[in-house]
Amino acid sequence: MILIDARVGSNHLLTYLPKGVAEYSILDFGDCCFTGKGPENKELKIGIEVKKLADLLASLTSGRLVGYQLPGLLGTYDRVYLIVEGWYSASDNGELVIINSDGAMRRTWTHKAWRYSDLDGWLNTIANKARVAIKRTIDTIETAAAIYSLYLWWQKDWNEHRGLDQFYDETPITLERPSIMRRIAALLPGIGWEKSAKIEEAFGTIYKMITAKPEEWEKIPGIGKKITAAIQKTINGE
């Protein structure tokens, strides 16, 4: 269930979310939150702050976002997202150009001529130093869609997210092409690229890997009983 802050500024989001997936609550920080499944299906608290462009620039000018809201978000949730809602771009000389809903463009806000690098640089800082994930949307409808998409992503088991479980055979990242054993190991449930190296180190050959007993698998760091059971079923063709 997605919890939407019931106060003005957040409560309109409920209207745009699918019926039955969200409800009102009073949140100390963030515009909405929910729980999700992290590594080994550990329950994580996910918080989302939505800032329309005008509010974001005003918050940066006053210091409220950095001095109060961000510390509260990071202290309350395991993962934090900041959604920046609104059209903006850069002029040919680097000024921040704000595009209103009627298509009109503005080059000043909060009595200041902002540069694109001012806003983008700040977003890069909190993304890289505070590890806040940044998403951009154009309007409330897309914001609600982004929230719902995040909610669906976090409801899946961590190991079901398989987008990174693949190899690029033509130009591998490393100077040496990954071994056949490592490529096979990476396809096993709950393994992926990083753990496949540990498996190759532990077993050395494909034969030893597929004939290994469950207790041998469980000795490998990061592989518990649940992953071992899934691997055994896959090897046995179940």
Q: Give tens-digit pLDDT for 191-206.
A: 888 788 888 999 999 9
Cβ atoms within 10 Å, residue 50: 25
Token pair belonging to 183:
């490529």
Higher pLDDT, 219 or 111: 219
> Using alpha carbons only, how large is the chain's radius of gyration in Å?
23
Does residue 174 lie in a domain region?
Answer: no
Cβ-based neighbour number of residue 229 at 10 Å: 15
166 lies in a domain? no
Residue 166 is predicted with a pLDDT of 59
Lowest mean pLDDT among 8-12, 47-51, 166-170: 166-170
Residue 21's Cβ-side half-sphere holds a number of Cα atoms within 13 Å equal to 19
Q: Specify the pLDDT at position 40.
A: 79
pTM, two decimals, is: 0.68
Instruction: Please give the Cα distance from 6 to 3 (Å, whole number).
Output: 9
List Cα–Cα distances, 163 to 101, 156, 166, in angstroms: 35, 13, 7
Amino acid, res. 163: G
Mark whether 149 and 230 lie in a shared domain: no
How many distinct structural domains can be found in the chain? 2
Contact 96, 112 (CB under 8 A): no
Strands (E), the chain: 2-5, 22-25, 32-37, 43-52, 79-85, 87-90, 96-99, 105-106, 133-137
- The domain that holds 207 is classified in CATH as 1.10.150.20
Q: Give the separation between CA 82 and CA 93, rounded to whole angstroms.
A: 27
pLDDT at 47: 97
155 and 210 in one domain?
A: no
What is the extent of the structural domain holding 190? 180-235
Q: What is the pLDDT of residue 107?
A: 62
Place of tokens 């745009």: 16
Cα dist from 175 to 61, 169, 171, whole Å: 48, 12, 9
CATH classification at residue 149:
3.40.50.10130
